[in-house]
Structure 1
Amino acid sequence: MHPDDRARVRESVQQALATLSDYEAEYRCVWSNGSIHWILAFGRPTYNSDGALIGMDGITLDITSRKQAEQKILEQAALLDVATDAIFVRSLDHQILYWNKGAERLYGWQAAEALGKNAIELLHRDDLTQLNEALKIVVAQGDWQGELTQVSKTGQAITIASRWTLMLDETGVPKAILIVNTDITEKKQLEAQFLRVQRMESIGTLASGIAHDLNNILTPILSSAQLLLMQNTLTDDRKQHFMKTIELSAKRGASLVKQVLSFARGVEGKRAVLQVRHLISEIQHIAFETFPKSIDLSVDSANDLWLVSGDATHLHQVFMNLCVNARDAMPNGGTLNIAANNFMIDESFARMHIEAQVGAHILVTVSDTGTGIPADALGRIFEPFFTTKDLGKGTGLGLSTVLSIVKSHGGFIDVVSEMGRGTHFKVYLPAIPMHEAPPVQDNELPHGKGELILVVDDEAMIRQTTQASLEAYNYQVLTASDGIEAIALYAQHRDTIRLVLVDMMMPSMDGMTTIRTLLKMNPQVRTLALSGLLSSTQISELEGIHTSTVLSKPFTTKELLENIHQVLEAQADIA
């Protein structure tokens, strides 16, 4: 017996003899060859016919293999606790079975608090769609990885990169899931900032074209307005022509400003089923208005183009970047072509393209007839800060951003380029093979039923034109020049005012403060927020108010009437 174990084993045997009970002990023995073995011993006192103690009977088992396995497990557990990642094991019915130190640091729950708890209830909130999908995949395929949003003990949202591995019992039956989670919250925030910086770079490259186009838009507006004021002999047809010119030019300018603001600000992280054809149409409009006229632009989108699940702002950024690069590659003019088609990837294609997955995709190809990319640079074009442009004409962020966004959507990119002949960028995105029903057009403008509407705006001309438009379509109107006046008017007419139109950027009391004050007076008050420059924070706050809707400036009479009609109809349905 190992010298260090003798005293402990002797004490166990003596206690068993003194209490006339069985004993059990684990101890080490040194074999003749010097090797150490673990022994498990069981003993019991034995007596003669007179009841006198004559000795002890017992058995011993060599448990060396078991002790070595236990030691290995302890060492592995110690290593897991050293890991910075959160590592835990959950049963198939979501019970937490193991919780390492990394999990304690990331989530704030100590192991004693987390063990035995339901993992979903502890770490997740709200939408569990992605979580349930991950569970299906790991059970079917044995592993899964992706990004999830979870919550800490304090309720703070955490973005994590998660890897799941299915654990099997000795018969091969699934018994639990090993999960390794890495906190990427800060990384995602930095990525969002990076994307915003890159978007602003793209806006900067278009700035001169935007300024030129806005001047072209303003010129016919000013000329037509002056002619209408100065010429008393104009026929009705000529007056209609000039008024139509003013209207179309104003719409053209509003559309350009709205698209640029939307692209620059971005509403990131929101995935939805969308039609890429519409994004390409917006890109076509911006390119047509801002690119040099020496560049011929052509667009060819399939009418039956499949839908994709994606972030519209980010995908817009992908195609905008590719088009800007194509423009820069054609300083002396050329042809820019954007094509979008359905593409089914089979196993043969997937074997030839390592990033491709079998299934339905859409293929968007951006082609130019420009200078081309040198062969020695082609393999580096997606590296951050790598650029073939002259100093001061590019940061090298554009294509690295494009690749990052496309990969985050489960897609990939192919590039073919030839010096002096041009470049083709092929963007493959996983598709939802379904047809989009064409929207039903209704040209009839909705009329009011005499409802009273309060219009709040610090711009007198906007108040006057809005009032005239509403009264022309059978609404009654009160107007206020700021939030303070609006609160006073609402207090006088709260029982009859059905809707409040609120400009979001006003002096003294801004729109958001006005809406909050109205809600305190009447939690059911209906508001329509009007603004051309809302921040993401304001948009999120307004979306959280179930009685408020947002209408972007500038808006047409048709857009105004349709939004008011929808709000009032919704109010009638609730009532």
Structure 2
Amino acid sequence: MAEIQQIIRSTFPKHIELQANIPTQSLPTVTADATQVHQILMNLCVNARDAMPNGGILSLSAKAITVDEHFAEIHIDAKTGKYVAITVADTGMGIPLEVQERIYDPFFTTKEVGQGTGLGLSTVRGIIKGHGGFLDLYSEVGRGTTFTVFIPAELDHEMEIPQYPDLQEGQGQLILVVDDEALILQMTKSTLELFNYQVVTATNGRDAIAQYKQYHPDLVLMDMMMPELGGQEAISALRDINPHLKIVATSGLITEQFSTISVDAFLPKPYTLQELLQTLGQFQEKNSHTLGHEMQ
């Protein structure tokens, strides 16, 4: 949560005030994929930001809660038990009831073309359900919106926790991350920088080609589904410029068309932090890339 607060304070407009109440010391333990929890919370925060174009208050809070039978009966997907409830609230424009009825449908979006795929809240809900939790929404037009994520608390402290190998850090390599989803772009950039990579970003294929010509990155992480110029066309153009460029393709769709693309690896979405770092770790170079003052 500390990293999310840092991203909000450094990248969100200054006219959005962040208020946080996260008593981490008193919260019970949950068993969850940290990267996916980060993903869903950033998604909700970005939606809250977009709902307040003229400014407002973005509130983050967390608390322990026990869901009883009454509560479970009136909330879809809820089951009785102890949870950690994480709330993301805004004072924005609110969501009309007719939109709330469709808000979790795949591909449904109220945003303009090029501002999102409509997969956000559908993906958020799927990840939460995969953790045994559920998502609650309350919104009033003109007053704001509150999303609450309920993640089951861990009750058996003797249960076996999966052990993962040490996460592999980079050696200062320069990575070009290409994705039309602002949330994924920001999350991936922040994560890679934490693990000793340098990052430049692009939001479509044309932008990716321009960024490559300017910065000559060591590796490109390319989303396949983008407006203007898609991943397949951009990869072909980059291969014409540098046939030896290392390229990792990424997509939420695994289709036969991707099998013919000349890439060095394929990373399915949504990917975990471990999967991302392991994939990039295959291409460690002895000589790291330095941006110097180009990024200033």
TM-score by length of 1: 0.28
For residues 91-146 of structure 1, the C-alpha deviation after alignment (integer angstroms, 9 at most, x for no partner) is xxxxxxxxxxxxxxxxxxxxxxxxxxxxxxxxxxxxxxxxxxxxxxxxxxxxxxxx
Going from structure 1 to structure 2, the CA distance change for 1:434 and 1:306 (only over 3 Å counts) comes to farther
Report the equivalent of 1:421: 143
List aligned pairs for 1:494-513, cutoff 5 A: none
Of 407, 410, 434 in structure 1, the residue corresponding to residue 132 of structure 2 is 410
C-alpha separation in 1, matches of 2:45 and 2:30: 21
Of 337, 345, 350 in structure 1, the residue corresponding to residue 72 of structure 2 is 350
List aligned pairs for 1:534-573, cutoff 5 A: 535-537=277-279, 539=281
Report the equivalent of 2:105: 383
Q: Does 1:319 align with 2:41?
A: yes
C-alpha separation in 2, matches of 1:390 and 1:317: 22
Higher helix share: 1
For residues 61-90 of structure 1, the C-alpha deviation after alignment (integer angstroms, 9 at most, x for no partner) is xxxxxxxxxxxxxxxxxxxxxxxxxxxxxx
Q: Does 1:330 align with 2:59?
A: no
Going from structure 1 to structure 2, the CA distance change for 1:297 and 1:420 (only over 3 Å counts) comes to same
What is the SS of the residue equivalent to 1:371? Answer: coil
C-alpha separation in 2, matches of 1:535 and 1:348: 43
Q: What RMSD, in angstroms, separates the aligned Cα atoms of the two structures?
A: 2.8
Going from structure 1 to structure 2, the CA distance change for 1:392 and 1:354 (only over 3 Å counts) comes to closer
Q: Does 1:362 align with 2:62?
A: no
1:392 deviates by 2.5
- The 8 Å contact of residues 307 and 431 in structure 1, kept in 2 or not, is answered as yes
Going from structure 1 to structure 2, the CA distance change for 1:354 and 1:325 (only over 3 Å counts) comes to closer
Amino acid at match of 2:21: D
Of 279, 283, 288 in structure 1, the residue corresponding to residue 9 of structure 2 is 288
Of 96, 104, 125 in structure 2, the residue corresponding to residue 374 of structure 1 is 96
1:357 deviates by 1.3
Report the equivalent of 2:249: none
1:300 deviates by 0.5
What is the SS of the residue equivalent to 1:308? Answer: coil
C-alpha separation in 1, matches of 2:76 and 2:44: 23
Amino acid at match of 1:299: A
Greater relative contact order (Cα < 8 A, sep 6+) = 2
Report the equivalent of 1:514: none
Q: How many residues align?
A: 171
C-alpha separation in 1, matches of 2:283 and 2:61: 38
Report the equivalent of 2:21: 300
For residues 121-176 of structure 1, the C-alpha deviation after alignment (integer angstroms, 9 at most, x for no partner) is xxxxxxxxxxxxxxxxxxxxxxxxxxxxxxxxxxxxxxxxxxxxxxxxxxxxxxxx
- The 8 Å contact of residues 342 and 362 in structure 1, kept in 2 or not, is answered as yes
- The 8 Å contact of residues 346 and 359 in structure 1, kept in 2 or not, is answered as yes
Going from structure 1 to structure 2, the CA distance change for 1:288 and 1:433 (only over 3 Å counts) comes to farther
- The 8 Å contact of residues 373 and 417 in structure 1, kept in 2 or not, is answered as yes
- The 8 Å contact of residues 301 and 340 in structure 1, kept in 2 or not, is answered as yes
- The 8 Å contact of residues 411 and 429 in structure 1, kept in 2 or not, is answered as yes
C-alpha separation in 1, matches of 2:38 and 2:156: 21
C-alpha separation in 2, matches of 1:388 and 1:458: 39
1:535 deviates by 4.2
For residues 223-268 of structure 1, the C-alpha deviation after alignment (integer angstroms, 9 at most, x for no partner) is xxxxxxxxxxxxxxxxxxxxxxxxxxxxxxxxxxxxxxxxxxxxxx
- The 8 Å contact of residues 75 and 136 in structure 2, kept in 1 or not, is answered as no
Going from structure 1 to structure 2, the CA distance change for 1:310 and 1:337 (only over 3 Å counts) comes to same
C-alpha separation in 2, matches of 1:335 and 1:355: 29
- The 8 Å contact of residues 359 and 430 in structure 1, kept in 2 or not, is answered as yes
C-alpha separation in 1, matches of 2:91 and 2:55: 9
Going from structure 1 to structure 2, the CA distance change for 1:540 and 1:294 (only over 3 Å counts) comes to same
- The 8 Å contact of residues 342 and 361 in structure 1, kept in 2 or not, is answered as yes
Structure with higher Rg: it is 1
Going from structure 1 to structure 2, the CA distance change for 1:394 and 1:344 (only over 3 Å counts) comes to same
What is the SS of the residue equivalent to 1:355? Answer: coil
List aligned pairs for 1:235-274, cutoff 5 A: none
For residues 7-45 of structure 1, the C-alpha deviation after alignment (integer angstroms, 9 at most, x for no partner) is xxxxxxxxxxxxxxxxxxxxxxxxxxxxxxxxxxxxxxx
Amino acid at match of 2:7: I
1:350 deviates by 1.8
Name structure 1 gaps, 5 residues minimum: 1-279, 436-456, 460-504, 506-533, 543-552, 555-575
What is the SS of the residue equivalent to 1:373? Answer: coil
Going from structure 1 to structure 2, the CA distance change for 1:408 and 1:458 (only over 3 Å counts) comes to closer
List aligned pairs for 1:188-207, cutoff 5 A: none
C-alpha separation in 1, matches of 2:277 and 2:86: 31
Task: Give percent identity, aligned residues only.
Answer: 51
Going from structure 1 to structure 2, the CA distance change for 1:538 and 1:368 (only over 3 Å counts) comes to closer
